[in-house]
Amino acid sequence: GIQVEQSPPDLILQEGANSTLRCNFSDSVNNLQWFHQNPWGQLINLFYIPSGTKQNGRLSATTVATERYSLLYISSSQTTDSGVYFCAVVWAGTALIFGKGTTLSVSS
């Protein structure tokens, strides 16, 4: 089956810093989503981005489907950005296949 690898596994930042999270996948995909799971366990949609670039406030994402990777950029990080960031792809069928996540801790 497809492999979805996220890096880094853990990231510690000071408030105001910028960061880049990466998602590599081993085969062509039909769909890619980025999620933020907050400390209360809620899984929040960030981007639906099978290809191209999107921006939403301090967050942006780029997927290069031909090279099988996606990047999530967080600028001017805030403590509320803390949590786990998941990349998930649809490969065969309709189910999302998740990576193991990047755990982000932002301190003030």
Partner 1 sequence: GAGVSQSPRYKVAKRGQDVALRCDPISGHVSLFWYQQALGQGPEFLTYFQNEAQLDKSGLPSDRFFAERPEGSVSTLKIQRTQQEDSAVYLCASSLDGQTPQHFGDGTRLSIL
**Given the complex with partner 1, which of 58 and 100 has the nearer CB atom?**
100
Give the nearest distance from C-beta 87 to partner 1 in angstroms: 9
Give the nearest distance from C-beta 58 to partner 1 in angstroms: 20
| 85 is a contact residue toward partner 1 (CB under 8 A) | no
Span interacting with partner 1, options 16-24, 57-65, 71-79, 88-96, rule CB under 8 A: 88-96
Give the nearest distance from C-beta 99 to partner 1 in angstroms: 6
| CA-to-CA separations, 46 to 1, 8, 64, 92, 93, in angstroms, rounded | 25, 18, 17, 22, 22
| 28 is a contact residue toward partner 1 (CB under 8 A) | no
| 105 is a contact residue toward partner 1 (CB under 8 A) | no
**Given the complex with partner 1, which of 18 and 30 has the nearer CB atom?**
30
